[in-house]
Amino acid sequence: MNFSDMLKEKGIDQQRVLVLRNRPSEPKLNKNLPWLAIEKPELFQAYQQAHGGKLQGTMKAMIGGYVASFIGQHPGKATFVALYKIVSFKPLTDKQFWAISANKALEGFGMKHWHAKEPDQSVLWFNLVRSDFYDHWRGKLIVN
């Protein structure tokens, strides 16, 4: 089975799908991310809703497209979590970002994510809507 074939079978253009292989650098978060993805999907989703650098720009350009979310657990292999529609985004200040309860909960798992370097600096917070795309494979499908 090929992931691009799975997309095609559901009528999704693979050119409109951004594949994320999540592997946090924070040890506690990295260890708990597979559990969060299955047992606390709202926290896992929040983890994906803000990114910096090039990824933030890429996601902004993909509005209307999708994020295929995987967790990298072994070199060359990743476990499927979900397919999310990228609906919209809004800028958040540091204060707004950390006021989101899911981000505070993720901080308890060691997330150091984003902190503004300047008072007027913001990060984009993406509105991601989880689809039912092969939901029965969540946490079970491992890809190369």
Show Cβ contacts of residue 144 under 8 Å, excluding neighbours closer than 6 positions: 76, 77
Mean pLDDT of the chain: 91
Which domain, by its residues, includes 46?
A: 3-143
Q: Which of 34, 36, 20 has its CA nearest to residue 108?
A: 36
Looking at residue 61, its pLDDT comes to 95
Looking at residue 115, its pLDDT comes to 62
Looking at residue 103, its pLDDT comes to 94
| Separation CA 89–CA 62 (nearest Å) | 11
Q: How would residue 2 be classed by pLDDT, with cut points 50, 70 and 90?
A: confident
Cα atoms found within 13 Å of the Cα of residue 61, Cβ hemisphere only: 9
Total domain count, the chain: 1
Q: What's the pTM?
A: 0.90
